[in-house]
Amino acid sequence: MKYQAELKDDILFIRLQGDLIAGADTQAMMEEVDNAQRTNVQLCAIDLSDARFIDSGGMGVLVSVLTKFRNKGGELVLIKPSDHIRKLLIVTKLNAIFTVAENDEFAAQFLKESIY
């Protein structure tokens, strides 16, 4: 898995590519999240449009990131997950806790509204 992180309008955007499985790459991404939170970033959007596959460890990573932000009074949105990932969210019933947006603009709008 590869990822890119950028801070835009006080929202941490993380863009994933490849397979989301727990490992060294996800550990680096979690450190990125921790660093952002140290600077009081409360909002995060994870772009899954280029993620091909996700396993249980990868789902655990998404839940961990969501938990980190909600514990700080913030929120997380998933952007454009593939059909495969959407089905996994439904099967695992995680669709009840994650908000899904179709693009950056909808994600940013939801996140901004979620903390006010």
Q: 2-114 adopts what CATH topology?
A: Transcription Regulator spoIIAA (3.30.750)
Question: Which residue, 101, 102, 91, 34, is CA-closest to 59?
Answer: 91
- What are the phi and psi torsion angles at 22 (to 5°)? -60, 135
State pTM to two decimals.
0.95
Which residue ranges make up each domain of the chain? 2-114
User: What span, in angstroms and rounded, lies between the C-alpha atoms of 34 and 40?
Assistant: 10
pLDDT tens digits, residue range 69-110? 999 999 999 999 999 999 999 999 999 999 999 999 999 999
pLDDT tens digits, residue range 6-60? 999 999 999 999 999 988 889 999 999 999 999 999 999 999 999 999 999 999 9
SS3 category, 115: coil
Give the start-end residues of each E strand in the chain. Answer: 2-8, 11-20, 43-54, 75-79, 99-101
